[in-house]
A and B are shown apart, each in its own frame.
Chain A
Amino acid sequence: MVTYIVRRLVTAVLILFGASFVVYQLTALSGDPLEDLRASNAPNRDQLIQARTELLDLNTPAPLRYFGWLAGAAKCIVPFAATCDLGSSIQGEAVTTSLSRAMGNTITLVATATVLAIIIGISLGIITALRQYSGLDYGVTFMSFLFFSLPIFWLAVLLKEFGAIGFNNFLDDPDIPPSTIAVVAIASGLIWALFASKSWKRKGIAFVLGAVVAAVLLFLLDLVGWFANPGLGPVVILVTGVGIAFGIVLLTAGLRNRKALYSSLIMVALGLVAYYVVNPVLNAATIWMIIILAVITVLVGLGVGYAMGGYDRSQSMRAAALTGLLMGFLIVVDRFMVTWPSYVSNPRVRGRPIATVGAETPGLEGTFWINGRDTFTHLLLPTLALLLASLASYSRYSRASMLEIMNMDYIRTARAKGLSERTVVMRHAFRNALIPLATLVAFDIGALIGGAIITEQVFAFSGMGQLFVQALQRTDPDPIMGFFLVAGILALVFNLVADIAYSVLDPRVRVKA
């Protein structure tokens, strides 16, 4: 295995050399960096052309110029020398500086969207596979393809129009007209009906139920002015927590495992207590404090599960830890919610919380909660756009993969053994369905750093994609090469990870040393 990895890494370096040469030549061929100056009537046009020619060394043929770049880039490999020189852009900024900044921005933007897309996409794929050719299947397929095929700038314009401008207008006077309640109720009913099983009667019940729940909820929230003054409060946290506990136990251990259920419920109770105990501390929260609290929660959960004992301790421990984590999440969400009024009324925000551009409100200084809020309101729309657009591929692949697995002999065997459908799906089918997806996920994470070119552009978010496109439009080789290096290295690494994951997940495939 080690020899294999080392060999792959060595080839990766060779590949980078080859590809970087190709990329450099492609860049040089892709345009004329002097275009704007050639058609200039500035009195000192010739001098400007000469200055740029010299800056970009345009009189040297591109194949030779490449080695100049390579000489600088090679210094990056020298360990601890800190002499990395990837050149600089036409505007004179060192590529290393702009790369590291763009990378940070891109990761904040794309990471959440990708992770959510993977989770939601795979869940949808699996559910639709289990309900093949049902209304749900067609509905989800239709919607995911619809989002997939909408040009993302179109999606962005819509999101901004309704998600930001419309919502902010609504917040000025948070009052929901009955017609809106009716529409939302019908939509919710339809979704419930889609999820319900085949018989029309049950679909009808689900529709009514969904519509009523949504209508009542909206009406109540509207009545208490929740939208201007949101929050969860102890009761909602408790109720949701119990729901979560049951849900988690159902999926991970089965409700018949009482020990697991009780440990989860204990975690809910502890969470509620923590809600009061921890609250004062949270005023001075930092990201590290939240992480530490999360770790403590997990440990307590494991402890409770362990203390409950039973024939399968690990199941109780897992369920309790997960429930605890989600309870903690609820508390944090509640906390973010109650900062809403003071965030909205901040003079920098001026009552328009959901933003359409950028990553932050310039000049906003506040607590962890306010700044977190700010990041959230800025990232909401671009994340949503990216998420919607990338759902389709994950749900399609996982649906196909799951369908294949569900027809396998060993699934039949598992059913024949009398295992519950939950066990068959979760333990036997699900895991194996993930194997072919491992490649896909590894790739997407590698490609993640490449940024989302158009999303970054329309949301005025300066990440890797924008860095790349702007350099390309100016025919500015150094930033392009920098982008290529980072994206290329990551792609190669995750390529390798995908191959190794494959052999780990599927014991039939062996990596040859």
Chain B
Amino acid sequence: MSIQTPSDFPDTDAATVTGPERPASEPEAKGLSQGQIVRKKFFDNTGAIISLVVFAVVFILAFTSVGFAGIPGWWKYNHTEFLPLVNGGAPTVTGPFSWGDHPFGQDSIGRDYFAMTMRGTQNSIIIMFIIGALAGLVGVVIGACSGYFRGWPEAVLMRFTDVIIIIPVVLAAATLGEAVNRFVGPGAQIWLLGLFLGLVLWTGLARLVRGEFLTLREREFVDAAKIAGASNTRIIFKHILPNAVGVIIVNTTLLMSSAILLETALSYIGFGVKAPDVSLGLIISQNQEAFQTRPWLFWFPGLFIVLICLCINFIGDGLRDAFDPRQKKFSASRAKESGKPAAA
């Protein structure tokens, strides 16, 4: 994501007037550095913390169980082996510690569904992060530059955005799928799919960031910073960006979770990740007919999609609230509550 320097955001409203130093990081009476404030706010947010933990568990499970990048995992099967059907392919998990042979069951030709789901989760997370990082970066840079500089950079960048906006994403993905099939081979398709989707999905974010910048650049503290002699880069990254962080984070996290769904949709119409590799979207749409007869083929990948989406969004929410330099009232009331036992 685009927010990489959290440690020294100044408290924008007041601090910039006093000069280019970083008063926030200087020890004051009950002074905390911006980073500390952000961290404290974030860790105070129960929803976000729970989500972070859940997501970490999912992440670790997915990457260690079936291995990653040639490193073998601890799970005994992989997602391509055909195995004899055990228990008619139904899940064998009976409790948290008695998983049985095929905890998530097997698909119709006997592949272990746990291995498939884990591998799919891995791939979906990879796609999600590539899209989030790439689209976030491109969107913020283009949006910020055009919103801040206006004039010809804005005209050029926004018209470029327009061109990208009107090219249907599905078409781009379908064409890419073909190209991958033809030239690259299936190994790299996850990365390329993420890369390519990231390169077309930044447009909404760019426009939103530009909108924020258009408003924010007219604000008093920007004028103040200019008078104080701050450079454009500094104003963009230190003064305006922290104020736009809410919109950026909400948008990027929504984008990341919708990336998983977009991949699902693409798989559904036959243009997403292609076999023999798997993604959550692919296995869920391949088995959509099994909804009533073998629901586990649906529930497990579905559960992971929902888990990832929920976690990402709650984490994003927590980050948003933590970064928002103006958010005082609510954290104050929370601070009061946290004195009580078992609050929240």
Contacts and interface: CB of A to CB of B under 8 A. Distances in A.
A343 to B, nearest CB: 29
A400 B214 contact: no
Contact of B326 (A138, A404, A506): A404
Interface string A140-170: 0110011011111110010001000000000
A30 interface: yes
B208 interface: yes
B150 A29 contact: no
Nearest to A154: B302
Interface in B169-221: 170-172, 174-175, 177-179, 204, 207-208, 211-212, 214-215, 218
A407 B329 contact: yes
Contacts of B162: 11-12, 15, 491-492, 495
Interface residues of B, number: 68
B172 A26 contact: yes
A245 interface: no
Interface in B245-291: 246-247, 250-251, 254, 257-258, 260-261, 264-265, 268-271, 281, 284-285, 288, 291
B141 to A, nearest CB: 18
B316 to A, nearest CB: 9
B309 interface: yes
B166 interface: yes
Given A151-B284, A450-B168, A29 B179 contact: yes
Query: What size tier do the contact residues of chain A reach?
Result: 35 or more
A31 B284 contact: no
A15 B168 contact: no
Contact of A19 (B166, B212, B215, B246): B166
Contacts of B246: 400, 403-404
B329 A508 contact: no
Nearest to B270: A473
A495 B158 CA distance: 10
B55 to A, nearest CB: 13
A418 B26 CA distance: 38
Contacts of A161: 292
A484 B215 contact: no
B254 A453 contact: no
* Chain B, interface SS category: helix
B214 A502 contact: yes
Interface in A393-416: 393, 396-397, 400-401, 403-404, 407-408
B326 A142 contact: no
A1 B105 CA distance: 63
A27 interface: yes
A142 to B, nearest CB: 7
Contact of B215 (A400, A407, A488, A506): A506
Contacts of A484: 166-168, 171
Nearest to A149: B309
Interface string B303-344: 001101110011001001100101111100010000000001
A153 B288 contact: yes
Contacts of B179: 29
Contact of A502 (B211, B268, B306): B211
A270 interface: no
A403 B247 CA distance: 11
Contacts of A22: 163, 167
A149 B312 CA distance: 11
* Chain A, interface SS category: helix
A30 B269 contact: no
Contacts of A445: none
A132 interface: yes
Contacts of B310: 142, 145-146, 149
Given A26-B171, A142-B310, A153 B218 contact: no
A508 to B, nearest CB: 4
Residue of A149, A450, A512 with most partner-chain B CB within 10 A = A149
Nearest to B47: A138
Given A393-B254, A404-B246, A473-B269, A453 B170 contact: yes
B170 A468 contact: yes
B178 A508 contact: no
A176 interface: no
A408 B327 CA distance: 10
B104 interface: no
A498 B214 CA distance: 13
Contacts of A492: 162, 166
B175 A29 contact: yes
Residue of B269, B326, B328, B334 with most partner-chain A CB within 10 A = B269
A280 interface: no
Contact of B334 (A18, A133, A396, A483): A133
A153 B174 contact: no
Contacts of A440: 208
B159 interface: yes
Contacts of A157: 288, 291
Contacts of A443: 204, 207
Interface in A366-418: 392-393, 396-397, 400-401, 403-404, 407-408
A23 interface: yes
A149 B305 contact: yes
B108 to A, nearest CB: 18
Contacts of A141: 313-314, 317
A329 B129 CA distance: 47
B42 interface: no
Contacts of A491: 162, 165-166
A364 B204 CA distance: 43
Interface string B207-237: 1100110110010000000000000000000
Interface of A: 11-12, 15-16, 18-19, 22-23, 26-27, 29-31, 132-133, 138, 141-142, 145-146, 148-154, 157, 161, 392-393, 396-397, 400-401, 403-404, 407-408, 435-436, 439-440, 443, 450, 453-454, 457, 468-469, 472-473, 480, 483-484, 487-488, 491-492, 495, 498, 502, 506, 508-509, 512
7 contacts: A19-B167, A23-B168, A404-B246, A407-B326, A450-B168, A454-B268, A457-B268
**Nearest 5 A-B pairs (CB), nearest first?**
A149-B309, A488-B166, A30-B175, A26-B175, A508-B218
